[in-house]
C-alpha cells in the first residue's frame, strides 16, 4: 500500500486533523496562563464533577427500576443523592455561566464554546424537568398536570406528552442525558482547543 | 491589505504573559471528591421528599361530591379537559400568541372524549350490573338532544348535590340514566376500579397516565392539596417541591412571569410566558452577537474581580 493511499484514508485524515487541532499537551495541559487564578474557574470543573455524580446516582436508581425508591429506605437515600447532586450541578453551572458571561468568554473565536454551554444548560433544564415529571408521586402528578398547559400551548404537547410517564422517563434517562453529555464533551473540547479567554485590555471599559 | 480593527467585545488580545503549573487531573479528582462528599452529606442531613401519588380512589373517598361534580362536568362538557382544545379535542381554539394559534395548527394528536373516556367506557367495563347496563343502553339509543336534556336537568339539580349514606344524592327528575351513571361511577371510583379502568384502556401493559391525570386535574381536590404544599401557580409552584426542599430553583424566571401582569390574568399566559422564555433563551445563546448585550461585561467591570491579580500586576508595571 502506497503512502499516498494511506494518507487518503478517512481514518488517517481524521487522526491528523484531530492531532493537529488537539495535541495531547492541549487536551491534558500541565500549565495554564497566569491570569487563570480565581475561584470562579472552579465552577466549570465542579459542574462536570456534579454531572458525573448525577449520572452515577441515576444509574444506581436504574438498577432496581423506577418504583424502587418509593418502597425502600436505601432507594430513598439513593434518590436523595440523585436530587442533591442535581442541585449542586445546577448551582455550579449557573455560577459558571454568569462568571463566563461577565468575562465575555466568547471573545477571540470562542462563540461556539459559549453557545454549546448555553445549549447544555437548556438541555439540562429539560433533563431535570423530565426527572421531576417521572418521579411517579404527588409532586410529579401536580408538576405534569400544570406543565402540560405551557407545553400544549406551544403545540409541542401533541408530541411531547408530559402526562405520559413512559415517554418522560425515556427522555429523562436516555435522550436528554445523551445530548447533555455529548454537548458537555464538545464544550470541554472547544475549551481545550481555544484555551481560556484572556482578560480585557487595560482601559477596555472606556472603549466604544 | 488593511488590518481589521480590534473589537473589544468580540476579539481577545493574544496572551503574551507567563504560564503557571496546572494539574487538570488533580483538580478534576478533587472536585469529584468534594461534590460526592457534599452530595452524601446533604442526603444524610436533608434526605428527599416523596409524597405518595393520590389516586382517584383516595380522591373520591375524601371528596365524593367534588369527584361526582367533576364526573358530571366530564359528561356535560364543562370540565377543563372537555373545553381544552388541541391536542385533546376541538372544543376551543386554545391559547393564542397574538394571531398565532400554535396548538390548533398542530391539531388533535392525543384525542380525549371526556364523555366516553371518563364516564361511558369505564362504566361499560363493570361486570354483572343489570340496572347500569340497561341505563347505558338507554343512553346509547337516545338522540343527542335527549341526552343533552337529561344532562342539563341533572346539572341544574346538582348544584345541591350531597353525599349521604355513602351515596350521591341529587333531587332531580327527567334526568334519564344520568343519576345511575354518576352514582355508579362514584362507587366505581371509591372502590379503586376507575383507576384501573382509566389506566388499562391501552391494554395490560401501559406507562401512559394521560387519562387519569387529566381527570384528577379537572377536580379541585388535587389543586387544593397542591396549594397546601405551596405548589400553586401564584406561589411560584413550578419551581417548588413538596416539603421544604429547593426544587427546580433554576425555573425562577419562568415562574416569576406568572406572578405579574399581564401574565397572571391573561387567558394566554402559558403561551406568552413560553414565548418570552424562548426569546430570553435565544438572547442568552446569541449574546456574543448582540451589540449592547455583549458589551455589558466589559462596561460593568465585573471582570476586574475575576482577574484582579492580573490588573494589579499591570498597574505595578
pLDDT digits (tens, 9 = 90+) for B173-201: 899 999 999 999 999 999 999 999 998 87
**Are residues B311 and A114, on separate chains, in Cβ contact within 8 Å?**
no
A174 touches chain B (CB under 8 A): no
Nearest to A129 among B51, B248, B249 (CB): B248
At B1, the pLDDT band (50, 70, 90 cuts) reads low
Residue A159 Cα, gap to closest chain B Cα (Å): 8
Quote ipTM for the complex: 0.94
Residue A121 Cα, gap to closest chain B Cα (Å): 10
Cis peptide before B137 (omega within 30 of 0): no
Q: pTM of the predicted model, to two decimals?
A: 0.94
B276-294 residue pLDDT tens: 999 999 999 999 999 999 9
Nearest to A163 among B34, B95, B213 (CB): B213
Residue A17 Cα, gap to closest chain B Cα (Å): 24
At B244, the pLDDT band (50, 70, 90 cuts) reads confident
**Are residues B110 and A146, on separate chains, in Cβ contact within 8 Å?**
no
Is a pLDDT exceeding 80 seen at residue B140? yes
Give chain A positions within 8 Å (CB) of B86: 152, 155, 158
Is a pLDDT exceeding 70 seen at residue A1? no
**Are residues B306 and A103, on separate chains, in Cβ contact within 8 Å?**
yes
Between CA B316 and CA B220 the distance in angstroms is 69
- Best CA proximity match to B252, nearest among B261, B263, B239, B234: B239
Give chain B positions within 8 Å (CB) of A82: 48
- For residue A41, the model assigns a pLDDT of 95
**Are residues A166 and B34, on separate chains, in Cβ contact within 8 Å?**
no
Q: What is the mean pLDDT of chain B?
A: 94
**Radius of gyration of chain B from Cα atoms?**
29
Nearest to B17 among A34, A45, A115 (CB): A34
**Are residues A198 and B20, on separate chains, in Cβ contact within 8 Å?**
no
A110-166 residue pLDDT tens: 999 999 999 999 999 999 999 999 999 999 999 999 999 999 999 999 999 999 999
- Hey, what's the cell of A99? 462568571
B147-186 burial, b at 16+ Cβ within 10 Å, e below that, comes to bebbbebbbebbeebebeeeebebebeebbbbbbbbbbbb
At B203, the pLDDT band (50, 70, 90 cuts) reads confident
B80-112 residue pLDDT tens: 999 999 999 999 999 999 999 999 999 999 999
Any alpha helices (H) in A65-175, and if so which ranges? 68-71, 73-102, 111-133, 138-153, 165-170
Domain boundaries, chain B: 56-206, 229-285
Between CA B48 and CA B69 the distance in angstroms is 35
Is a pLDDT exceeding 90 seen at residue B170? yes
- For residue B2, the model assigns a pLDDT of 67
Identify any residues that bridge with B168 across adjacent strands, giving them in sequence order.
B163
**Are residues B103 and A153, on separate chains, in Cβ contact within 8 Å?**
yes
**Are residues B94 and A99, on separate chains, in Cβ contact within 8 Å?**
no
A87 touches chain B (CB under 8 A): yes
- For residue B241, the model assigns a pLDDT of 86
- For residue A208, the model assigns a pLDDT of 59
Tell me the pairing of strands B167-169 and B162-164: antiparallel
**Are residues A80 and B42, on separate chains, in Cβ contact within 8 Å?**
yes
Chains A, B: CB contacts within 8 A come to: 288
**Are residues B22 and A30, on separate chains, in Cβ contact within 8 Å?**
yes
Nearest to B39 among A53, A90, A107 (CB): A53
A13-49 residue pLDDT tens: 999 999 999 999 989 999 999 999 899 999 999 999 9
What is the CATH T-level fold of the domain A104-196, as seen in this structure? Cytochrome Bc1 Complex; Chain C (1.20.810)
Amino acid at each position: 500500500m502506497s503512502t499516498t493511499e494511506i494518507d487518503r484514508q478517512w481514518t488517517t485524515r481524521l487522526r491528523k486533523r484531530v492531532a493537529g487541532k488537539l495535541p495531547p499537551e492541549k487536551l491534558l495541559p500541565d500549565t495554564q496562563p497566569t491570569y487563570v487564578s480565581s475561584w470562579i474557574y472552579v465552577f466549570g470543573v465542579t459542574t462536570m464533577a456534579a454531572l458525573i455524580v448525577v449520572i452515577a446516582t441515576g444509574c444506581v436508581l436504574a438498577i432496581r427500576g423506577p418504583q424502587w425508591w418509593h418502597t425502600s429506605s436505601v432507594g430513598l437515600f439513593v434518590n436523595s443523592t440523585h436530587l442533591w447532586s442535581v442541585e449542586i450541578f445546577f448551582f455550579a453551572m449557573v455560577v459558571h455561566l454568569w462568571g463566563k458571561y461577565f468575562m465575555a468568554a466568547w471573545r477571540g473565536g470562542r462563540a461556539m464554546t459559549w453557545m454549546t454551554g448555553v445549549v447544555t444548560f437548556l438541555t439540562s433544564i429539560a433533563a431535570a424537568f423530565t426527572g421531576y415529571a417521572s418521579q411517579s408521586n404527588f409532586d410529579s402528578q401536580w408538576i405534569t398536570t400544570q406543565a402540560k398547559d405551557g407545553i400544549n400551548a406551544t403545540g409541542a404537547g401533541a408530541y411531547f406528552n408530559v402526562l405520559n410517564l413512559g415517554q418522560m422517563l425515556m427522555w429523562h434517562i436516555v435522550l436528554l442525558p445523551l445530548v447533555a453529555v455529548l454537548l458537555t464533551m464538545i464544550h470541554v473540547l472547544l475549551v481545550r482547543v481555544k484555551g481560556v479567554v484572556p482578560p480585557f485590555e487595560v482601559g477596555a471599559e472606556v472603549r466604544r | 491589505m488593511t488590518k481589521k480593527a480590534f473589537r473589544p467585545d468580540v476579539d481577545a488580545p493574544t496572551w503574551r504573559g507567563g504560564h503557571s503549573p496546572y494539574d487538570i487531573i488533580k483538580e478534576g479528582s478533587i472536585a469529584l471528591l468534594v461534590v460526592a462528599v457534599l452530595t452524601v452529606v446533604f442526603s444524610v442531613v436533608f434526605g428527599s421528599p416523596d409524597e405518595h401519588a393520590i389516586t382517584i380512589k383516595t380522591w373520591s373517598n375524601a371528596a365524593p361530591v367534588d369527584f361526582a361534580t367533576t364526573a358530571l362536568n366530564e359528561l356535560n362538557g364543562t370540565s377543563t379537559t372537555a373545553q381544552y382544545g388541541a391536542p385533546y379535542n376541538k372544543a376551543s381554539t386554545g391559547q393564542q400568541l397574538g394571531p398565532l394559534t400554535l396548538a390548533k395548527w398542530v391539531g388533535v394528536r392525543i384525542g380525549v372524549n371526556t364523555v366516553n373516556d371518563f364516564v361511558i367506557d369505564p362504566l361499560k367495563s363493570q361486570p354483572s350490573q343489570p340496572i347500569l347496563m340497561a341505563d347505558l343502553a338507554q343512553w346509547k339509543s337516545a338522540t343527542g338532544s335527549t341526552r343533552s336534556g337529561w344532562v342539563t336537568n341533572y346539572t341544574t339539580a346538582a348544584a345541591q348535590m350531597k353525599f349521604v349514606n355513602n351515596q350521591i344524592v341529587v333531587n332531580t327528575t327527567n334526568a334519564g340514566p344520568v343519576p345511575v351513571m354518576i352514582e355508579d361511577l362514584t362507587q366505581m371510583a371509591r372502590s379503586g376500579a376507575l383507576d384501573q379502568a382509566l389506566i388499562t384502556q391501552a391494554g395490560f401493559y401501559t406507562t401512559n397516565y394521560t387519562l387519569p391525570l387529566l381527570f384528577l386535574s379537572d377536580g379541585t381536590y388535587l389543586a387544593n392539596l397542591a396549594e397546601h404544599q405551596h405548589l400553586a401557580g401564584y406561589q411560584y409552584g413550578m419551581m417548588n417541591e413538596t416539603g421544604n426542599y429547593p426544587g427546580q430553583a433554576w425555573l425562577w424566571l419562568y415562574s416569576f412571569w406568572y406572578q405579574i401582569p399581564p401574565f397572571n390574568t391573561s387567558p394566554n399566559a402559558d403561551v406568552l410566558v413560553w414565548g418570552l422564555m424562548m426569546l430570553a433563551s435565544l438572547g442568552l445563546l446569541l449574546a456574543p452577537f448582540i451589540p449592547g448585550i455583549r458589551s455589558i461585561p466589559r462596561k460593568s467591570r465585573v471582570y476586574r474581580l475575576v482577574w484582579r491579580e492580573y490588573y494589579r500586576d499591570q498597574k505595578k508595571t
